[in-house]
């Protein structure tokens, strides 16, 4: 295989010019570009892109740190990222971490090792300080509210989004509110638990341990919650389901089967504005997941182009979509 | 930054040994490994992984060609791939193509350019001949039945899986079967359309154009189908919904709202064994999507290790899961 030096010699241009042509760099005259391309064609030169990356310091790839890929929340963010990446002709390196910190660190090491141009951390178990140590090596965007850090962020305020859902139930007259959460120890989950306690205190409602239901991940978990409720002596009159509309869907379907009326016997508000929720007429808090993926990509892409390391912090707005389950 | 030559000189070893240490190659003596690592630490040497890849010819990355990421079918296959990639310490480069052939070709060019070690094509618009031209550059696995090609494949037989669903409805006494499909021109969609016509002919049922419903992608499309059925003078007594259980879910929920009894007024069989279907008691054809992702990764990983280019063809079994909607 011919190398870049040979191509430069045969085309009568500098090595820099060849590498510019290989990378579609704008500052190459048409004459030189044509000379290089003709030479390459003559030699049937196959680029070793690792050589190109080595020369340019750019890989046109961004790593995405994501705990799981097949939960609605994550798959919609990925879709937003992927849509923008396609437009910008960037690759997404998908790093499913299963919430293991050592896997996240490996991905950040890829940034240090120049294998990628940036990292989007959709959800991370690492401390903000630990993440900041890697901002020297390239742009990082975290899809969580971590304050004004040295890395960029795009986020919704989970505390106020969750409290607005609770306030909505309260305004509609519900005073016995239960709460279904996903993983108990996630960072946004912890914030919502604080919001829940603050809300109960502010509205003078007692805390009932039985009404805090964790590990709701799938539709079937939603059905299980309904059965749990049926066995309680003292039932809530409303449920806030932070872990997603699909869990609310499982619960509502099971309620229909059992003759429990929604919202008369039990009001339900979900999160995420999923298609299944629209079909069910589910009231929900829309936290703009597609927009989160799109924004995360645009922020990191701009940072790569600017190359100034200046972090950006973007807050997305949530909104309550009123339908028929509250 | 120190380069590999300097490290080799300072550690008193060959350049080959340094590159072996950088790549965790087993055939390096402990003494030499320690010497290299100490030198690296002394120099605070940051690897440029593109240089490492250039030397080794391996990237520990596999590209995944996928039209969309947020449809259940695709997100479950990605999850299977991601699970195995994590175990094998490989990266997945996610290439969302929106079914555009030119985007698929760009990804295969990455294989030619040695940016990745292999390509998994979850769904492809390219001809088998065009794909075969790239097998010279590295392993390719297609998640479609393309026959005994030079690239590997892992697949379910869409023709017989679909016919078995139809046969099941037929055996239960349904003689007026409607059919909901996703994209009309997908490759597996075309195969199912042939299977449908063959089945009608074999069982002496008339073809009814009105009962072929295309572009069913979301839960809301399922609800729309129910309304379409209600407006027909002559309705089917059963529906086969190849595009996934989530569409069947939208339809069933809408049917409940309208007082249409399932299966008495309308029998429904779905595909994919999704969680929402389990909650609804939906009869379905399970076509093992997670297994497809897992198998695709294992096949390509083995091929990379063996480095012999020998393609593997693996057929996955489907099965009908009987519940309450037929």
Q: Which DSSP symbol is given to A137?
A: G
- A94 vs B59: CB contact, 8 Å cut-off? no
Report yes or no: A108 at the B interface, CB cutoff 8 Å: no
Report yes or no: B276 at the A interface, CB cutoff 8 Å: yes
Residues in A 237-256 with any Cβ partner in B closer than 8 A? 246, 249-250, 253-254, 256
| Residue B229, both tokens | 């059925």
Up-side HSE of residue B100: CA atoms within 13 Å toward CB? 11
Q: What spatial distance separates the first Cα and last Cα of chain A, rounded to whole Å?
A: 68
Which chain A residues touch B48 with a CB distance below 8 Å? 54, 113-114
Which chain A residues touch B110 with a CB distance below 8 Å? 49, 91
Report yes or no: B133 at the A interface, CB cutoff 8 Å: no
Report yes or no: A3 at the B interface, CB cutoff 8 Å: no
- A275 vs B250: CB contact, 8 Å cut-off? yes
Establish, for the pair of chains A and B, how many residue pairs have beta carbons separated by less than 8 Å.
148
Which chain A residues touch B103 with a CB distance below 8 Å? 86
Phi, psi angle pair for A94, to nearest 5°: -85, 120
Q: Report residue B171's pLDDT band, with 50, 70 and 90 as the boundaries.
A: very high
Which chain B residues touch A84 with a CB distance below 8 Å? none
Beta bridge partners of A180: A213, A241
> Which residue is closest to A249 within chain B, CA to CA?
B276
Find the Cα–Cα–Cα–Cα dihedral B15, A138, A64, B96, rounded to 10°: -90
Q: What proportion of chain B, given as a percentage, has pLDDT over 90?
A: 66
What is the structure's pLDDT at B130?
95
Report yes or no: A87 at the B interface, CB cutoff 8 Å: no
CB of A50 closer than 8 Å to CB of B110:
no
Phi, psi angle pair for B195, to nearest 5°: -60, -40
Give the closest-approach CA distance of B249 to chain A in angstroms: 8
Average pLDDT (B109-137) is 93
- A50 vs B46: CB contact, 8 Å cut-off? no
SS3 A189: helix
- B79 vs A68: CB contact, 8 Å cut-off? yes
Which chain A residues touch B218 with a CB distance below 8 Å? 275
Residues in A 287-316 with any Cβ partner in B closer than 8 A? none
- B69 vs A78: CB contact, 8 Å cut-off? yes
What is the structure's pLDDT at B50?
60
* Out of B70, B83, B278, closest to residue A79 by CB: B70
User: Count of CB atoms within 10 A of residue B92's CB?
Assistant: 25
Residue in this structure with the two tokens 């509205």, named with its chain if needed: A203
Average pLDDT (B130-146) is 95
Secondary element (H or E) of residue B283: strand B283-286
Q: Report residue B41's pLDDT band, with 50, 70 and 90 as the boundaries.
A: low
pLDDT tens digit sequence for A58-89:
788 999 999 887 788 888 899 899 989 988 88
Interface test with A, best of B50, B60, B291 (most A CBs within 10 A): B50
Angstrom distance (rounded) from CA A156 to CA A174: 25
pLDDT tens digit sequence for A1-15:
456 777 888 889 988
- B249 vs A279: CB contact, 8 Å cut-off? yes
> Which residue is closest to B86 within chain A, CA to CA?
A96
CB of A220 closer than 8 Å to CB of A226:
no
Q: Which domains does chain A have, with CATH numbers?
A: 4-56 (1.10.260.40), 61-156+289-318 (3.40.50.2300), 158-286 (3.40.50.2300)
Q: Which DSSP symbol is given to A242?
A: T
What is the structure's pLDDT at B149?
95
Average pLDDT (B176-198) is 92
Average pLDDT (B119-123) is 96
Q: What does pLDDT average to over chain B? A: 90
> Which residue is closest to B218 within chain A, CA to CA?
A275
Q: Which residues of chain A have pLDDT under 50?
A: 1
Report yes or no: B87 at the A interface, CB cutoff 8 Å: no
- A48 vs B113: CB contact, 8 Å cut-off? yes
Angstrom distance (rounded) from CA A10 to CA A24: 20
Angstrom distance (rounded) from CA A118 to CA A307: 11
- State the pairing for strand pair A91-96/B91-96: antiparallel
Give the closest-approach CA distance of A58 to chain B in angstroms: 10
Report yes or no: B189 at the A interface, CB cutoff 8 Å: no
- A115 vs B83: CB contact, 8 Å cut-off? no
- B279 vs A253: CB contact, 8 Å cut-off? yes
Q: Report residue B1's pLDDT band, with 50, 70 and 90 as the boundaries.
A: very low
| Residue B288, both tokens | 């093992």
Phi, psi angle pair for A281, to nearest 5°: 70, 35
Phi, psi angle pair for B93, to nearest 5°: -95, 110
What is the structure's pLDDT at A187?
78
SS3 B6: helix
What is the structure's pLDDT at A173?
96
- A70 vs B49: CB contact, 8 Å cut-off? no
Report yes or no: A91 at the B interface, CB cutoff 8 Å: yes
Interface test with A, best of B46, B47, B69, B289 (most A CBs within 10 A): B69
Angstrom distance (rounded) from CA B310 to CA B101: 25
pLDDT tens digit sequence for B215-264:
999 999 999 999 999 999 999 999 999 999 999 999 999 999 999 999 99
* Out of B49, B246, B280, closest to residue A115 by CB: B49
Angstrom distance (rounded) from CA B244 to CA B182: 9
Which chain A residues touch B93 with a CB distance below 8 Å? 61, 91-94
Give the closest-approach CA distance of B72 to chain A in angstroms: 8
> Which residue is closest to A56 within chain B, CA to CA?
B50
Residue in this structure with the two tokens 């579609």, named with its chain if needed: A24
| Residue B127, both tokens | 């001809």
Q: What is the ipTM of this complex?
A: 0.75
Angstrom distance (rounded) from CA B289 to CA B300: 17
Q: At what angle do helices A158-171 and A187-202 cross, to 10 degrees?
A: 40
Q: Where are the alpha helices (DSSP H) in B101-244?
A: 101-112, 128-132, 158-171, 187-202, 219-230
Choose the weakest-confidence range: B45-54, B61-70, B173-182. Answer: B45-54
Q: Report residue B298's pLDDT band, with 50, 70 and 90 as the boundaries.
A: very high
Which carries the bigger pLDDT value, residue B278 or residue A21?
Answer: B278
Residues with Cβ within 8 Å of B14's Cβ and at least 6 positions away in sequence, in order, are: B8
Give the closest-approach CA distance of B200 to chain A in angstroms: 32
- A94 vs B93: CB contact, 8 Å cut-off? yes
* Out of B51, B85, B95, closest to residue A91 by CB: B95
Which chain B residues touch A48 with a CB distance below 8 Å? 54, 113-114
């Amino acid at each position: 295989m011919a190398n870049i030096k040979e191509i430069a010699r045969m085309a009568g241009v500098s090595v820099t010019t060849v590498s510019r042509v290989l990378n579609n760099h704008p500052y190459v005259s048409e004459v030189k570009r044509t000379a290089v391309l003709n030479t390459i064609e003559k030699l049937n030169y196959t680029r070793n892109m690792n050589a190109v990356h080595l020369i340019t310091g750019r890989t046109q790839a961004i790593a995405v740190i994501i705990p799981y890929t097949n939960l609605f929340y994550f798959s919609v963010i990925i879709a937003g990222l992927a849509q923008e990446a396609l437009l910008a002709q960037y690759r997404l390196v998908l790093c499913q971490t299963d919430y293991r910190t050592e896997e996240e660190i490996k991905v950040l090491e890829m940034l240090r090792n120049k294998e990628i141009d940036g990292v989007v951390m959709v959800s991370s178990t690492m401390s903000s300080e630990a993440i900041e140590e890697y901002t020297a090596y390239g742009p990082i965007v975290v899809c969580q509210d971590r304050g004004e850090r040295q890395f960029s962020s795009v986020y919704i305020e989970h505390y106020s989004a969750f409290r607005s859902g609770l306030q909505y139930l309260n305004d509609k007259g519900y005073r016995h509110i239960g709460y279904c959460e996903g993983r108990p120890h996630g960072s946004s989950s912890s914030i919502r638990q604080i919001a829940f306690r603050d809300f109960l205190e502010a509205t003078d409602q007692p805390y009932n341990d039985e009404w805090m239901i964790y590990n709701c991940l799938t539709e079937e978990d939603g059905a299980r919650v309904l059965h749990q409720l049926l066995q309680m002596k003292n039932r809530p009159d409303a449920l806030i389901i932070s872990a997603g509309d699909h869990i609310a869907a499982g619960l509502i379907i099971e309620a229909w089967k059992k003759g429990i009326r929604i919202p008369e016997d039990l009001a339900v508000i979900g999160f995420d504005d999923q298609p299944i929720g629209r079909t069910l007429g589910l009231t929900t808090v829309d936290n703009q997941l597609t927009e989160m993926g799109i924004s995360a990509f645009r922020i990191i892409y701009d940072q790569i182009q600017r190359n100034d390391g200046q972090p950006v912090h973007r807050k997305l707005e949530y909104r309550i979509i009123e339908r028929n389950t509250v």
